[in-house]
Amino acid sequence: MEHLSLNPLARRSKLIPLVRCSLSGVDSLMSAHDRPLQLRAPAPRDVRRPTRRMLATSSITSATVGGVQQVQEENETLQLYPKWGEFATRVSGEWDGYGAEFSSRGEPVELPENVVPEAFREWGVQIFDWQTQCPTLAETAKPSLIYKLIKLLPTVGCEADAATRYTVEEKIVQGSDAKLAAFAYDQTGSYVAVWAIKEHTDGRSFEIEHCLVHPKNHEVRIRIIQSIKMEQMVLSIKKINVFSEQWYGPFRNGEQLGGCAIRESGFASTVAMEESEVLGTWQSACVAATFTDPQTNAIRELAGERRQKLVRGQEGLVTLPKKLWSSIGKKEDAESWVEAGWLIDQGQSITSRCVFLKDGNLKEIAVGREAEIPKDV
């Protein structure tokens, strides 16, 4: 009696003879004497499958580790820069307005003749203001910010559609950026940056950018940029650029022009503030960041509120339109300071001050609110 085996490999193979077939008159590729096909049992499972599962597990593990590292970096950012997220939200967006250049004495500088429309020249109209855009984008999870300063060619009448870019200057705020010497920020959106220190045979030059946000309206701000030169350890201001800007919406990389809908207007040729409005004794409440350790990151958070009295005199003071001023001076201990201020109301101001050591290195940045102390007090 024939016994059946449950092992398919033990079964006798069944032979199927080859037959000749024709497809459109073409014979089969195999001849009649070719070796017959043999049906075999299914091949064993691929032994490499566990290896493939191991690779998949490894990929998942790498992704998990990467996610953990990202979370750790974000936690470190929160520890070092606890208010950066608020600052990033406030500073990001489309900031449009007008900008103008002033001499070291506060005199407005006329735009180059080659950018002024012929009609203005024929009418004898002087142009001192650039219409500007400043699209700004800051990451909320880490201290990183980028913005562009876009100057638009002046036009005759309301020609928003004809606005043409004249220059585009890009600034990057990152700890590793060589052009950034120092950056201090506040959660309101205000910040101070020291840019591009350049060495010369007779000294060095750099820029201080003071960005001051109106304390009662965070969609209005002033940026004052002072061009500084240091010769024989003495600081002096060579020129001043002022930008009066308002927030027009989320970041769009400057694709949307304010045009005639812009809420700002040219200001360079308007009357400058009277010196008497800022002279005298003021009570200051400020937050500060120190930069005496060169090994630490260039980006710092303004913190640690302190109160002090300040006496502001005429020496080194330059008043500007829009209730603004710029000043520079030297302290008794040979330290120097550079200041920018904005009189937001009678007897009320917001100021930014940078203090430099006698060797010219930055010591501190402070931003604060000031209230005038009456003379009879």
| Residue finishing a domain among 56, 80, 104 | 80
Among 186, 183, 217, 362, residue whose Cα is nearest residue 286? 186
**Over 50: is that where the pLDDT of 341 sits?**
yes
Which pLDDT score is estimated for 295?
61
| Confidence band for 350, pLDDT divided at 50, 70 and 90 | very high
Residue 162 has pLDDT above 50, yes or no: no
Tokens of 98: 């007008």
Are 120 and 194 in a shared domain? yes
* Residue 137 covered by a domain: yes
pTM of the predicted model as reported, rounded to 2 decimal places: 0.79
pLDDT for 38 equals 38
Instruction: Please tell me whether residues 267 and 241 are part of one structural domain.
Output: yes
Residue 34 lies in a domain: no
Domain match, 51 and 196 both: no
Residue 22 lies in a domain: no
Sorting pLDDT into bands at 50, 70 and 90, what band is 161? very low
CATH number of the domain to which 245 belongs: 2.40.128.20
Over range 319-328, report the average pLDDT. Answer: 98
Residues 115 and 93 in one domain: yes
Q: Are residues 65 and 169 in the same domain?
A: no
Would you give the distance in Å from CA 221 to the centre of its chain? 16
Q: What tokens appear for 182 in the block?
A: 């120092």
β-pairing, 37-38 vs 26-27, is unpaired
Mean pLDDT of the chain: 82
Query: Above 80 in pLDDT, residue 177?
Result: no
| Inside any domain, residue 37 | no
Position 294 confidence tier, pLDDT thresholds 50, 70, 90: low
Record the tokens describing residue 69, joined without a space: 């590292």
In a domain, 269, yes or no: yes
Query: pLDDT, tens digit, for every residue of 242-271?
Result: 999 999 999 999 887 655 667 788 999 999
Which residue segment(s) compose the domain that 356 sits in? Answer: 81-372
Structural domains of the chain, count: 2
Residues 198 and 231 in one domain: yes
Q: What phi and psi, each to the nearest 5 degrees, are found at residue 258? A: -70, -40
Pair (49, 179) in one structural domain: no
Residue 36 lies in a domain: no
| Residue 14 domain flag | no
Q: Residue 310 burial (CB < 10 Å; 0-12/13-18/19+)?
A: middle
Distance of CA 172 to the CA centre of its chain: 5
Q: Which two tokens stand for residue 301?
A: 């958070």
Asked if residue 170 and residue 293 are part of one domain, the reply reads: yes
Share of the chain above pLDDT 90, in %: 61
219 with 324, same domain: the answer is yes
Domain finish residue from 80, 99, 128: 80
- Find the helix or strand (DSSP H, E) in which 362 lies: strand 362-372
Question: Among the three residues 28, 62, 80, which one is the final residue of a domain in this structure?
Answer: 80
pLDDT at residue number 246: 96
Q: What are the tens digits of pLDDT across the range 35-81?
A: 443 333 444 434 444 444 444 545 545 556 555 556 666 677 678 89
Which helix (DSSP H) or strand (DSSP E) does residue 76 occupy? helix 49-80
Which tens digit of pLDDT belongs to each residue from 197-242?
788 777 889 999 999 999 999 999 999 999 999 998 899 999 999 9
In our burial notation (b when 16+ CB lie closer than 10 A, e otherwise), range 237-274 reads beebbbbbbbbbeebeebeebbbeebebebbbeeebbe
In a domain, 27, yes or no: no
Same domain, 246 and 136: yes
Domain check: are 53 and 137 in the same one?
Answer: no
- Do 314 and 217 share a structural domain? yes
